[in-house]
Structure 1
Amino acid sequence: MNKQKLAGLVTAALMLPFMSGMASAEYHADSDTGIDALDYIEEQHRTERENRLTAEQQKLLDDAKAMERNLRHPVDPKKAAPVAFEGEELTYDERDGSFVAKGKVDILQMDAHRFQGEEVTGNTKSQDVNIPDKAHILQMTPGQVRVTLDGYKAHYNYGAKTGSLEDVKGKAGAHYITGKRFEFYPDRIVVYDGTESKCGAKRPDYHLSAKKIVYYPNQKLVMENVKFHLRGRVILTKKHYETGVGAGASKKHVFPRVGYNNDDGAYIRWDLTFPLRKNLDANTNIFINTKDGWRSNYDLTWQNAGMKTGVRYGYFEDSDNEWIKKEPSAFWNYGDHIGKTHFTYGLNTEYGRWYGNGVHSNHGEYGVSLGYDPIRFHRYTLYLKTGYSITRESYNDSRVSGISGDAVLTKDFNERWAAYAGYHYSKKNRNNTLFDYDTDDYSKKLEGGFSYRIDDINRIAVGTKYDLDHSKWKNIDYYWYHDLHCSQVILRYKSRENKWNIRWQFTPW
């Protein structure tokens, strides 16, 4: 049988619609010097490193381009052939459309799919493909997640776009996945007895497992009978777990984080979300430390599009280790672009019973903000935002109102160096408000700093804050980020206060 003719008969739909758009990791410095502006740059660099092509991936892209240039369609020579089908032994029966390929079979699709096995059978009329033994699948299609999978007993109908694969192991994007059985449908993928993790070890330090996983591309991931595994132990079970995937999906830590600082002592933090119904979640943000004990908070939040509203209760800590207790507090936020422009606006309000600084007060805060989408030029990024807020307190019948303004400029020099500088103004400060939470003791400040990546697993950074009202330095903080096998350690030293903070966390989703 002529290889080119067989390539034309086996059409382009031999590849399966695998997972795409998994949420990326989130790393941050827990800083009050504005150094979190560099965390966004670090996140981009991590994504770039994760997306570096392996030799196998680069070869697939090169082969797909060469195929488009050189291999012609058997029916219409003016077109490129959609599929190249190679093997050491190829047979095809034109009477019923059946074919058999043996010995290092390689199916290459022009949209950068590769399908490999030692023996492939199928039928071009019924549009079925079967690999009874081991199958290797590679996907590099533009706009879809990069996939490398190994499994057994592969069956796929490229007309209906349905199929199955058993005993699967591999990688989708930055996530390592396994499953006893995958089922493929045009609008979803179903995995039975599956696991997923961002830890690539043979025995991952942490992973999620579920009896059933349903993946809706670029929408959501729904898991049933879920177990959260940490170092070989099940630390949490849920009947139902759901999270968004794709562009715009929220980033969060799935597993606990532990650490130490001078203000809290040793602590453990774990943020958990429990979906109640569409757009409505109950969130439990557990925080326990050795100095104060239980310092957790909870909220019931409804959100849709740019609107978020709900009720919060419990202890809240700002980046300067100042605490407040909400007993409870209701909130409402809304934000969107102004028409089709690059300008954005936000509306926010919060009202409730607050406790802090030894006093209780009915606290009300109302605000409006105006911003502009990040302005990027020559590896610089400029962030601009202004606003107006009103804060009222029943304890002393006070009212503080005024404008605020923020301008931050970052520079991504290269993969190793990054820097930032910012100016911030707020009428509200500790001298004219009742609570210290989330406020400075001055109105005007400058922030700035830099980070330097030493190697693939070590990064250092410096963050500073300068009080313009009193012309003095408030913070000069030093950071060291160290990546372990499947986790990260972040060490911070606040030199002006001689305080240490160390945090250890597993690689977050």
Structure 2
Amino acid sequence: MHKTFVATALMLGLCLPAAAEQFSNSNSDSMISPVSVAEPNTAVQHREKHDSEKQQGLPITLTGEHAVYDTVSGDFHAEGNVKVTQNGQDIYTTQVKGNMKTGDIWLLEGGKFVEKQAESSAAWAHYNFNSKTGELKKINGKNGKDYFSAPHAEIYPDKMVLDEGGTTTRCPAVKHPRCLEIKAETFEVYPGEKMVARDVKVYVRGKHIYSRDYWENSLTDKSKERLLPHIGFKDSDKGTYINVSYERPLGDKDVVYADLNYYSKAGYKPVYGLEHNERNFKVTYENGWYEDDDEWVRKENNIRFNYKNHHIAPGLPLSYSAYVERGLWKNDDTGRKSWHMEYGAFLNHDRIYLFNSKNTSLDMTIGKKWTRESAEDSVESTNVYYATLGQKISPKWNTWVGYYREDFTSNVFTYDQPDMAKELRNGLQYIMDDKNIFTVVNRYDLDQKKNYETKYSWTHKFCCWDLSLIYKHKDYDNDNSFEVKFDFVNW
């Protein structure tokens, strides 16, 4: 018979945290799903990230085949099929002992820790609930997409430190060397925030490729950095391209980064930047090259201020965001240059789920944008309206339709301008299995009353990298384009 007792004012903290769900606000139109809709056209939309509340002092439930608790000394001991549960976190072991008054708990025969997407095991563990400190020996597990292992770890109130070396990878291979693996002398894991590695070595299929002294990976925001190059071919003025990205934190709020891009047709087009990130806003300073609709624009001393999305009032499903950007933009092909200043404000409605179902969702945004170009000494403005209705038909099928309205605000550059003033966009996605995804996106020009373009894409997921084939039929100029991308998954 299982015996159960409940202890209060204790907090479990033994498991590596699951990474927070991320919202992508890229302009990609090929993988828009009804669950996570990409940003339409060129407007910048910021979804407010809600961190889960940290609940202190919740009760712990301990069950085991044999459980003993001394109410005077506070000592407890449980054996058999032991399960310790608290606030959504479970520990499974065969033997546990501790003291409720001192806050100590020992897993003498090790155990398995499960919380959301994270699952890890340790051969031995000690934790003190009062000081929020502890120790783990011989740990390994999976946190979301990441596999990790280490011989030893120390737990502190704000972080976990793998202090005797460790490895992390997203490759599940066991019969051959892992496609990509990162080894480091120390890993520091800050729950829900970031992971910091020092004295890092990067391995591909078991071969040491290069070393670096420091690597930081955010668990809340998508990192700009890629540990290995991304390679592809695009049938345009880009040709074959290769990208290497790097970033280095300069403190808790500042990061310097570089996107080193080379194109066989366009040449070397790097981007260098510095980012300062506060809770309510973000400031970015950049110099470098950007491309859109086959127009290359070189931004010099470009500064962008983003005021992050905030709800107007508690309980009200409306939030607002704003931005302002200024820099010297140049097009070397045409010789045109202009001090470009752009600013905008947006009002967003929280995602609406229709018909009492999470499978049908509606996202809506309205706003206004202004653009000032020194080359023409003019200011243009436009109202913006975005609405996307998404439907999850089945676990394998997704579809969506969106209405986007936004006028041109620059007569100097086509970069970062909408392709059409009124657009109807619809898509269909088929998830064949965990390796293959097919997507079709059609764009219709409502002003011209004709189809603008249709995009077909297929992505095949290999062990640690993706192969994407993208074909576009461009109705607007009766042309076609083809792109091949080879990407190491998220790294």
TM-score tier (shorter): 0.7 to 0.9
SS of the aligned residue for 2:167 comes to strand
Quick one: which amino acid aligns to residue 508 of structure 1? N
TM-score by length of 1: 0.77
Contact 2:319 2:350 in 1 (8 A): no
Q: Of 387, 402, 408, which residue of structure 2 is paired with 1:407? A: 387
Residue in 2 aligned with 1:200?
Answer: 172
1:179 equivalent in alignment to 2:150: yes
Quote the Cα distance in structure 2 between the aligned partners of 1:422 and 1:351. 32
Native 8 Å contact 2:138 2:151 kept in 1: yes
Q: Distance in 2 between matches of 1:270 and 1:100?
A: 54
Identify if the C-alpha distance between structure 1 residues 82 and 27 changes in structure 2 by more than 3 Å, giving closer, same or farther: closer
8 Å Cα contact 1:459-1:481 kept in structure 2: yes
Take 1:280 and 1:30, find their aligned partners in 2: how far apart are those partners?
25
Amino acid of the structure 2 residue aligned with 1:225: D
Cα distance, 1:344 vs structure 2: 1.1
Cα distance change, pair 279–9 in 1 and its aligned pair in 2 (3 A): closer
Greater fraction helix: 1
The DSSP-based 3-state class of the residue aligned with 2:33 is helix
1:299 Cα deviation (Å)?
1.0
The answer to whether the 8 Å contact 2:320/2:348 transfers is yes
Q: Could you say which structure has the larger radius of gyration?
A: 1
Tell me, in whole angstroms, the C-alpha distance in 2 between the residues paired with 1:208 and 1:266: 28
Q: What amino acid maps onto 1:20 in structure 2?
A: P
Q: Which letter does structure 1 place at the counterpart of 2:64?
A: F
| Pairs within 5 Å for 1:39-438 | 41=36, 82-86=61-65, 105-111=80-86, 113-117=90-94, 130=106, 135-140=110-115, 145-157=116-128, 160-192=131-163, 193-202=165-174, 203-246=177-220, 249-250=221-222, 254-255=226-227, 256-263=229-236, 264-318=238-292, 320-337=293-310, 339-340=312-313, 341=316, 342-378=318-354, 379-394=360-375, 396-428=376-408, 433-438=411-416
- Residue 387 of structure 2 contacts residue 402 of structure 2 at CA under 8 Å; is this kept in 1? yes
Query: Greater relative contact order: 1 or 2 (C-alpha under 8 angstroms, separation 6 or more)?
Result: 1
CA shift at 1:316, angstroms?
Answer: 0.9
1:187-243 superposed Cα distances (whole Å, 9 cap, x missing partner): 321112122222222343223332222222223323322334333344554433334
Q: TM-score, normalised by structure 2?
A: 0.79
Counterpart contact for 1:9–1:124, Cα < 8 Å: no
The 2-side partners of 1:93 and 1:280 are apart by 51
Closer/same/farther in 2, CA of residues 233 and 252 from structure 1, 3 Å limit: farther
1:262 Cα offset (Å): 0.8
Equivalent-residue separation in structure 2 for 1:311 and 1:92 (angstroms): 60
Shift of the alpha carbon at 1:36? Answer: 4.2
**In structure 2, how many angstroms separate the alpha carbons of the residues matched to 1:454 and 1:446?**
26
User: What is the Cα deviation at residue 441 of structure 1?
Assistant: 5.6
* Equivalent residue number for residue 456 of structure 1: 434
Structure 1 residues 454 and 97, CA, compared in 2 at 3 Å: closer, same or farther? closer
Identity %: 23
For 1:60, the equivalent position in structure 2 comes to: none
Deviates more, 1:306-315 or 1:232-241: 232-241
Match of 1:18 in 2: 15
The 1:398/1:27 distance shift into structure 2, 3 A limit, reads closer
Whether contact under 8 Å (1:14, 1:158) holds in the other structure is: yes
- What amino acid is the match of 1:424? Y
Residues 259/28 of structure 1: CA separation in 2 closer, same or farther (3 Å cut)? farther
Conservation of the 8 A alpha-carbon contact between 2:441 and 2:454? yes
CA distance in structure 2 between the partners assigned to 1:94 and 1:199 by the alignment: 48
- Structure 1 pair 359–259 and aligned structure 2 pair: CA distance change class (3 A): same
- Secondary structure in structure 2 of the residue aligned to 1:358: coil
Structure 2 portions without partners, runs of 5+: 39-58, 355-359
Aligned to 2:357: none
CA distance in 2, matches of 1:92, 1:465: 67
Q: 1:280 to 1:186 in 2, by over 3 A?
A: closer
Any gaps of 5 or more consecutive residues in structure 1?
44-79
Give the aligned residue type for 1:86: E
Where 2:32 maps in the other structure, the secondary structure is: helix
Structure 1 residues 8 and 411, CA gap change in structure 2 (3 angstroms): closer
> Counterpart of 1:480?
458
